[in-house]
Amino acid sequence: MEYANYYLSTNKKWFWDFAASLSKYIGQEVHVEDNGLVFPPSVAEGRYEFYELSDGLSLLLVDCVFYQPIKLSRAAVRGTDYYKIFFNAGDAHLIVEKNSGRKVDTGMDLSEAVLFTSNSIPVNFVAPVGSRVRDVELIFHRSWAHKHIPGILPEEAVIVKDIKDGKAVQFTATIDLNCLDLVNEILGAKMDTPSARMYVEGLALQLFSSFIRNEIVEQIGENFIYSNEYKRIAAFVEKLEENLDMRLPSLEEAAIECNMGWSKFIALFIAYYK
């Protein structure tokens, strides 16, 4: 078996199916315990964990060493419902084989340490033996993106338009220092309490917003037009600055004041004030 096959989804069933595929691939049992894969000691050690953060958004975090070569293959499916943003935070030579046939070493430098891909385009990963693999992967459904990427941008913002239209997308990008810091913070976080998971979800939303904003700026520059939601946040912040003697509101209160949910408030606030 040349590759361990998997598919893309935001629910935990894919993770169980992935464990079964890995077991078949290596000829030894890989099982799921709590939210992580448990490898035979001769195969790998470390964290390989999956978390459903909210409806339509999930997080995969990897911080482990493989002692056997691991090749992963995700075949294309009809339709584009899911997207993944892969952030390599280590220097391991993790090879991505793109649909074009080009092989990218995401550990060489920061310029191609991010892979954005939809489930309608195939991609292969080759993990190195003996090196520490450290990455974070955000997996989201297109419906989630519709809620969290509001209609804020002109048509030139290709990445936003493509996601909303359900188009097939695959490209590599630079990981900037802000995204790298967020990835490292996520990898260093414990997920043992509900409050810890909420904290990590906030980091994941910041990471998503920061990446999307970077791509927008790359495509159309800094001077893009913000929506009414951004204007509400800006007005709220201006109100706070003009009334410094006021009690600082909680996150939930700030979100209500801006007429939006707390997760959207975090994402838009980070994108606006990064």
Instruction: Supply the pLDDT for residue 180.
Output: 92
Single out the residue of 211, 213, 249 nearest to residue 230, CA to CA.
213
Over range 10-24, report the average pLDDT.
95
Residue percentage of the chain with pLDDT more than 90: 42
Burial code (b: 16+ CB inside 10 Å, e: under 16) for 182-215 equals: bbeebbeeebeeeeebebbbbbbbbbbbbbbbbb
pTM for this structure?
0.79
Instruction: Supply the pLDDT for residue 212.
Output: 84
Over range 213-225, report the average pLDDT.
64
Instruction: Supply the pLDDT for residue 187.
Output: 95
Strands 70-74 and 4-6: parallel
Residue percentage of the chain with pLDDT more than 70: 90
| Cα separation, 155 vs 161, whole angstroms | 7
pLDDT higher for 257 or 228? Answer: 257
Strands 114-118 and 170-173: antiparallel
Residue 29: which pLDDT band, with cuts at 50, 70 and 90? very high
Instruction: Supply the pLDDT for residue 63.
Output: 96
Q: Which of 175-189, 206-220, 230-244 has the highest mean pLDDT?
A: 175-189
Single out the residue of 26, 38, 37 nearest to residue 2, CA to CA.
26
89: helix, strand or coil: coil
Q: Which tokens is 198 given?
A: 């909420």
Q: Mean pLDDT, the chain, as a whole number?
A: 85
Instruction: Supply the pLDDT for residue 268.
Output: 74
